Amino acid sequence: MVPPTAVASSDAATAIGTPNAPATKDPVKDTILTPRFYTTDFEAMAAMDLSPNADELEAICEEFRKDYNRHHFVRNEEFEGAADKLDPETRKVFVEFLEQSCTSEFSGFLLYKELSRRIKERNPLLAECFAHMARDEARHAGFLNKSMSDFGLQLDLGFLTANKAYTYFKPEYIFYATYLSEKIGYWRYIAIFRHLEKNPDSKIFPIFNFFENWCQDENRHGDFFDALMKAQPKSVTGLRARLWCRFFLLAVFATMYVRDVARKEFYEALGLDAREYDKYVIAKTNETTARVFPVVLNVDHPKFYTRLERLVRNNDKLSAADEGNAPAPLKVLRKLPYWVANGAEMAKLFFTNPIRSENYQPAVR
């Protein structure tokens, strides 16, 4: 799954241990911008008929079986002492990035692992695909958590499993959300890798050397959900599907943009402009989703980014309103106008005419 960018955390620098004895980091407080853990209707997943696209799903499963990255995530001598070279502010935003990325990958592992376990008797092909993806996500999460230990911190993934709140999504919503997560993850990873390949002086930590192969896991996972949606045609045809695809595209793009701009210091450390980086990722992901979603967003509309910038400003004001020692009811009253304003901007974005995928880029259809 896609690693989200860093989210501000007041406890990011507390209780530091050592690389050999890392301290357990308290998880960040859940907000609308932090990674979520998901559950779904396992019975409905087990009963799914894959026959409309069984051949493609079998071919993708065969790709998973090859496990191309089996020997890729092996740390080398470049990691030794790399953490000590970062200045305090860069260390802070980078640790936040590692934490949120690890949480996101681990969320994917838990969902895929539980799906593979619960449906293996009734839907073995689907269960095997989820088991392979769980393997990949666990590998990613472990690698990220090990990198956190270079900074004297680690996440207690067992604690997260038992104590994190789980959000229920119907299977088709899982398809939309995880497909977008995996595909946007591919474009995020590959964009950073290509930038650092051209600008090696901006490579602040050796983990970025792994992003080229890593992003191919994300891409293959996205291809799986593409094939799965095609095996369930109702998920990508008709008015209802068009509306839900618009909703999930907008929710993912808006959340990413607000989050990344809020923590632009991380991207500056890599020599990137957060806004330009996000615009590239959004454009590429939007183009990719035209392969399966019935509609995509008009991200070239002159007001698209104007409205996203309003969300950024409102988010800054919400953060400011949440600071201090004011009573909780007073904080809610202070934040209410910005919640309403955000809702209005999201509604305007949602009701902006989308582009039918068959007209957007016929070649990819």
Residues 6+ apart with CB under 8 A from 9: 28, 29, 96, 99
The pLDDT of residue 285 is above 50: yes
- CB-count burial class (<10 Å; 0-12, 13-18, 19+) for 116: buried
Q: Which helix (H) or strand (E) holds 296?
A: strand 295-296
Provide the whole-model pTM. Answer: 0.89
Domain range annotation of the chain? 23-236
Strand partners, 129: none
Percent pLDDT > 90 in the chain is: 78
Rounded Cα gap, residues 245 and 240, in angstroms: 9
Mean pLDDT of 307-311: 97
Rounded Cα gap, residues 183 and 191, in angstroms: 12
The pLDDT of residue 11 is above 60: no
Is residue 304 a contact partner of residue 282, using CB atoms and an 8 Å limit?
no
Residue-level pLDDT at 153: 87
Q: Scanning the structure block, which residue is given the tokens 């293996």?
A: 120
Mean pLDDT of 277-282: 98
Rounded Cα gap, residues 41 and 160, in angstroms: 21
Q: What is the pLDDT of residues 72-87, one digit of tens each?
A: 899 999 999 999 999 9
The pLDDT of residue 10 is above 60: no
Measuring CA to CA, which residue among 105, 262, 260 is closest to residue 185? 105
50 φ, ψ (degrees, to nearest 5): -95, 0
pLDDT band at 32 (very low <50, low <70, confident <90, very high): low
Q: What is the pLDDT of residues 51-77, one digit of tens each?
A: 999 999 999 999 999 999 998 899 999
Count of residues in the chain: 365
Q: What is the pLDDT of residues 85-99, one digit of tens each?
A: 999 999 999 999 999
Q: Which helix (H) or strand (E) holds 24?
A: strand 23-25
Residue-level pLDDT at 5: 44
Most confident of 8-12, 275-279, 324-328: 275-279
